[in-house]
Structure 1
Amino acid sequence: MSGQFAGKTVAITGAAGGIGRQLCRFFGAEGAAIAALDRNPDVKSLVDELAQDGIACRAAVAELSDAPAVEAAFAKFGAVHLLINNAGVSRHNTLRQTDPAGWDEDIDANLNGAYRCAHAVLPQMVERRSGSIVSVGSINGLYALGDPAYSAAKAGIIAMTKAIAMEYGRFGIRANCVLPATVRTPIWDARKAKDPEVLKRLERWYPLGRIVEPEEVARVIAFLASDAASAVTGVALPVDCGLTAGNIVMSRELTLEDF
């Protein structure tokens, strides 16, 4: 796919995070100009970092809960050919620990923010009669794995993706989402500091025997956004090292003990 995104602008939310930075570098290496959006002011450092690799980047700081700020950021970016709704956060691990304000907070950060970004770019995509939106959901949107407000928001990402695909397909716009499982990003550093074996214990649940690497998520997003997937829209594609294929731990106990 080398150079397939040359001459196109790829807007990436949550660009300052682990997956976000990988996405910026991946699509920049594929020839895209990057429009990086994050609530963290560190996103501005990406401009210089990527410039060292010859990647053009514009950055904006905005809270995705702030609709006018989101609109202003995308007005600054101009033409956006691919939107990657990557921003996400989980602050409430259990339903019992989640009060109404916390529920609203996680829904707003993970679902409403993605909607606001899609709302900002869809009119220009309609005008061009082309465009692609790929949202980063989670397997939490399919299964109860904790983080209930986050999970409900990620289930909403799937529904929003299908709605965009249905309504905007006639304008040449495609919408898809990826559903990662555990991804090796800096967010796990604090957990590993407390429990160095945490990822090892998680790996046994994955049929491939490992967790997902950020670049693997980027490659699937690139496929969905590329001409190779020109007939693919409305899809929610797990990127999960096989986790959603079944319960491998139970299977080993029941039927695969000699496998």
Structure 2
Amino acid sequence: MTERFDGYGVVVTGAARGIGEATARRFAAEGAGVLIADLDGVAASRTAAAIRADGGRAEAVRCDVAERASVDAAIARAVDVFGTLDVLVNNAYSCGEHHDDFTLESDEEWQRDLDVTLSGAMRCSRAALPHLMNAPRRRGAIVNIGSVNGLSYFGNHSYSAAKAGLVSLTRTLAVHAAPDGVRVNLVAPGTIRTPAWAGREEILTKAAGSYPLGRIGEPTDIAAAVAFLASRDAAWITGVTLPVDGGILNSNSGFTDALAAE
């Protein structure tokens, strides 16, 4: 594989498992030094060790994106270890329980989802931007991990609101950072096979039939899109939301199934 990120320093939040882990592995495989930042410091260390065992460069840090001091320390660690910070991937999120009855939403669930998913991305971007603006050859980039939930209805009110806010933050930061050569984009995944679905595999099997491409996504599908948007291959792309969703945003299987049942 071509090492598009040779010499890069990359921070991926929520990188101990799932999409974050696959993304960190992709960057490391293409030559980057990757900081595995995760609330679960033990799991982060385990992932970083696995990447090093495969010949990549990776370090781990426990990071709570809901706390400014924790975020600032993680970004500083990346710069110290790798000597540069070129890419930030805002992947950490919180997703509370879905309530069919919106009146059951608690202030605590709502606030937690927004504080981690949306405000966490803000904190990380705020800390990283001064370094990204100094990245050589104007290669600084932020890639936010959104969701189809932020673009259409798939349940989980607070999580969806946070992901929708991340779409807006992507656009405004893209314009703000463009004069300094920093690009900001967002990948919006559909249903992805991650540890969050552990014990509920039958739901994934059922969900696959709703996707035009006939399957749910894998973490590597998202990692590939993130790597593209962070690379110089996307040098003239900023402020975009890229659905990586197996076509589900273009389908209306419920409506067509209802017609077929007539």
> What range describes the TM-score normalised by the shorter chain of this pair?
over 0.9
Alignment of 1:1-259 (within 5 A): 2-41=2-41, 42-78=43-79, 79-94=84-99, 95-128=102-135, 129-192=138-201, 197-254=202-259
Deviation string for 1:161-201 (max 9, x for gaps)? 00111111111110000000100112111223xxxx32222
Q: CA deviation at 1:252?
A: 4.8
Q: In the alignment, is the contact (CA less than 8 A) between 2:88 and 2:125 conserved in 1?
A: yes
Query: Does the Cα contact within 8 Å between 2:24 and 2:34 map onto a contact in 1?
Result: yes
Cα distance between partner residues in 2 of 1:229 and 1:130: 10
- TM-aligned CA deviation for residue 127 of structure 1: 3.1
* TM-score under structure 2 length normalisation: 0.92
Q: Confirm or deny: 8 A CA contact 1:130 1:171 kept in the other structure.
A: no
Deviates more, 1:219-228 or 1:172-181: 219-228
Partner amino acid, structure 2, of 1:97: L
CA distance in 1, matches of 2:77, 2:208: 42
Specify the SS of the correspondent of 1:190: coil
Moved more, 159-168 or 97-106: 97-106
- RMSD across aligned positions (CA): 1.5
Contact 2:87–2:132 (CA under 8 A) maintained in structure 1: no
- For 2:94 and 2:88, locate their aligned partners in 1 and report how far apart those are by CA, in whole Å: 18
Matched-pair contact (CA < 8 Å) for 1:92–1:149:
no
Shift of residue 92 of structure 1?
2.5
Unaligned runs of 5+ in 1: none
CA distances 1:76-99 after superposition (whole Å, capped 9, x unpaired): 111210111111121131233321
Distance in 1 (alpha carbons) for counterparts of 2:72 and 2:224: 28
Deviation at 1:51, TM superposition (A): 1.2
Q: Is the 8 A contact 2:35 2:59 kept in 1?
A: yes
Per-residue CA distance 1:23-69 (angstroms, 9 max, x = gap): 11111111111111000022112232111111111111021111011
- In structure 2, distance between residues paired with 1:82 and 1:227: 12
Task: Report the number of matched residues.
Answer: 252
Q: Tell me the distance in 2 between the aligned counterparts of 1:214 and 1:72.
A: 27
TM-score, structure 1 length as denominator?
Answer: 0.93
The CA deviation at 1:225 is: 1.1
In 1: Cα distance, 2:180 partner to 2:14 partner: 27
Q: What is the rounded CA distance, in whole Å, between the counterparts of 1:130 and 1:167 in structure 2?
A: 16
Gaps of 5+ in 2: none
Aligned AA (1:160): L
Structure 1 vs Structure 2: percent identity of aligned residues?
Answer: 38
